[in-house]
Amino acid sequence: MTARPVSEIGAAVVGTGFIGVVHVEALRRLGVQVLGMVGSSHARASERAAALNLPPAYESFEAMLGDPRVDVVHITTPNHLHYPQAAAALAAGKHVVCEKPLAMTSSESGELVRLAQTTRLVNAVNFNLRFYPICRHLHQLVGEGGLGDVRLVSGHYLQDWLLLDTDWNWRLEPELGGSLRAVADIGSHWMDLTSHIAGQRIVSVMADLKTFIPTRQQPIGPVETFSSKTSGAATARTITTEDCATILLRYESGAIGNLTISQISAGRKNTLEFEIDGSTSAAAWNSEHPDDLWIGHRGRSNEILPRDPAILNAEGRAAAGLLAGHNEGFADTFKALYRAIYRAVAGDGPSEPDYPTFADGHESMLACEAVARSAREGTWASVERTAPTLPSPARGGG
């Protein structure tokens, strides 16, 4: 069977925020037809569609689902909508690319895994960081034993966009963002990325969560993610989700890990760092300088591997879009990720997905829930992997 041309595949993007736009542009770069957006209101979606020179926005999520030209649905809405929208899209026969976290609970994410398995549709979670070419390269390198046995995985993910008590975003509201905030929003990226690269599943965690700003000023009206504008009028709101988390990790192989997460670290805009120490060599990466990989050695010079297609291994080279020295950024990871996903949609991918799936999204939910449990109880908590149960018929379809 020949693969379908990507230019004949249609996609719709649900959600009109910052990240929705990044989805749209990456799809366009690949030549996918972006048929339209869905917004929290039709007016908002229409405004965004015009700004992006897109076709008219869909009237509603349901209207979009009813459009037979739509093959793939990208879900970039607030977290509480991921589960019902993903379930509904699968039920409508659409392939789904969903932002992380995949759901509000592991019960929901487990159901989505089952639904996806049943439908055999492409199901992906937007852990885009995996698709920095350097991260792909390192994934292969570690898998081939390039660092020896993995022993220690450490690092942090720091931001400052919620430093002040006047900073507001829907993620602060547990009913929209979930009961975990910093851990679910950015800690999930760190844990997914490092577990994926290190080839190590987390078995238990010991976490400390801290809400340094117990009361915040919620402005009247909507607020963009990362925006620092405040109109003035605001209401005091009690905050229950964490500003920071410190987490010890233990992996299946006996390796250990350590992670610091913060959304209140002044001057850190969006810094993910990790180091993986193996029995022979080590590797470190910083998301703010993503084209360089530090490789550490004993008894000889350390290395800086550039994102040079002539040097990268097969996985790294496949994700690279530009020549060496022509630096790639955040937006480029979406293109590389969707190239892999749409190859699968086109029926042209490898037999095993080479992109993050709902199963990875579910794994992430389980790790986050262990973090929450550990922090609540003040003890080590296991990541409780049970086979996802079949979704109850009543909920299927969202």
Q: Which residues inside 360-379 make contact with its own copies, applying CB under 8 A?
A: 378-379
Of 1, 2, 53, 68, the one binding its own copies (CB under 8 A) is 53
Least distance (Å) between residue 318 CB and its own copies: 14
Tell me the backbone φ, ψ of residue 282, rounded to 5 degrees: -135, 165
Residue appearing with tokens 């039920």: 91
The DSSP string of 222-268 is ---TT-----S-EEEEE--S-SEEEEEEEETTS-EEEEEEES--TT-
Of 89, 264, 345, 372, the one binding its own copies (CB under 8 A) is 264
Of 186, 336, 393, 397, the C-alpha closest to 271 is 186
Least distance (Å) between residue 111 CB and its own copies: 31
Q: Which is nearer to its own copies, 325 or 393 (CB)?
A: 325
Q: Across the strands, what pairs with 247?
A: 207, 259
Q: Write out 264-282 in H/E/C secondary structure.
A: CCCCCCCEEEEEEEECCCE
Interatomic CA distance for residues 357 and 96, integer angstroms: 10
Q: Parallel, antiparallel, or unpaired: how do β-strands 215-219 and 202-210 relate?
A: unpaired
Interatomic CA distance for residues 381 and 296, integer angstroms: 32
Q: Which is nearer to its own copies, 13 or 86 (CB)?
A: 13
Within 181-220, the residues that bind its own copies by CB under 8 A are: 206, 208, 210, 212
Segment lying near its own copies (by CB under 8 A), choices 64-72, 101-109, 259-267, 364-372: 259-267
Q: Across the strands, what pairs with 206?
A: 248
Segment lying near its own copies (by CB under 8 A), choices 65-73, 103-111, 174-182, 223-231: 223-231
Binding-residue pattern over the window 276 to 315 for its own copies, x denoting contact by CB under 8 A: -xxxxxx----xxxxx--xxxxxxxxxxxxx-x-xx----
Q: Which is nearer to its own copies, 120 or 300 (CB)?
A: 300
Q: Is 3 in the site for its own copies (CB under 8 A)?
A: no
Segment lying near its own copies (by CB under 8 A), choices 51-59, 85-93, 98-106, 111-119: 51-59
Contacts of 367 by beta carbon, 8 Å cutoff, 6+ apart: 188, 191, 202, 205, 383
Interatomic CA distance for residues 377 and 222, integer angstroms: 35
Q: Which is nearer to its own copies, 118 or 279 (CB)?
A: 279
Q: What b/e string do you get for 99-111 counting C-beta neighbours within 10 Å, with b at 16 or more?
A: bbbbbbebebbbb
Number of residues engaging its own copies in binding (CB under 8 A): 99
Of 63, 91, 152, 234, the one binding its own copies (CB under 8 A) is 152
Q: Which is nearer to its own copies, 27 or 115 (CB)?
A: 27
Least distance (Å) between residue 251 CB and its own copies: 11
Interatomic CA distance for residues 303 and 120, integer angstroms: 43
Interatomic CA distance for residues 257 and 249, integer angstroms: 4
Least distance (Å) between residue 349 CB and its own copies: 16
Segment lying near its own copies (by CB under 8 A), choices 49-57, 90-98, 101-109, 173-181: 49-57
Segment lying near its own copies (by CB under 8 A), choices 75-83, 232-240, 330-338, 386-394: 330-338
Within 156-185, the residues that bind its own copies by CB under 8 A are: 156, 158-161, 163-164
Residues 34, 27: contact at Cβ < 8 Å? yes
Binding-residue pattern over the window 104 to 143 for its own copies, x denoting contact by CB under 8 A: ----------------------------------------
Q: Is 145 in the site for its own copies (CB under 8 A)?
A: no
Q: Which is nearer to its own copies, 130 or 151 (CB)?
A: 151
Q: Which is nearer to its own copies, 108 or 243 (CB)?
A: 243
Q: Is 337 in the site for its own copies (CB under 8 A)?
A: no
Least distance (Å) between residue 220 CB and its own copies: 21
Of 192, 143, 247, the C-alpha closest to 359 is 192
Interatomic CA distance for residues 241 and 368, integer angstroms: 13
Residue 347 has, within 13 A of its CA and on its CB side, a CA count of: 8
Segment lying near its own copies (by CB under 8 A), choices 26-34, 65-73, 94-102, 110-118: 26-34
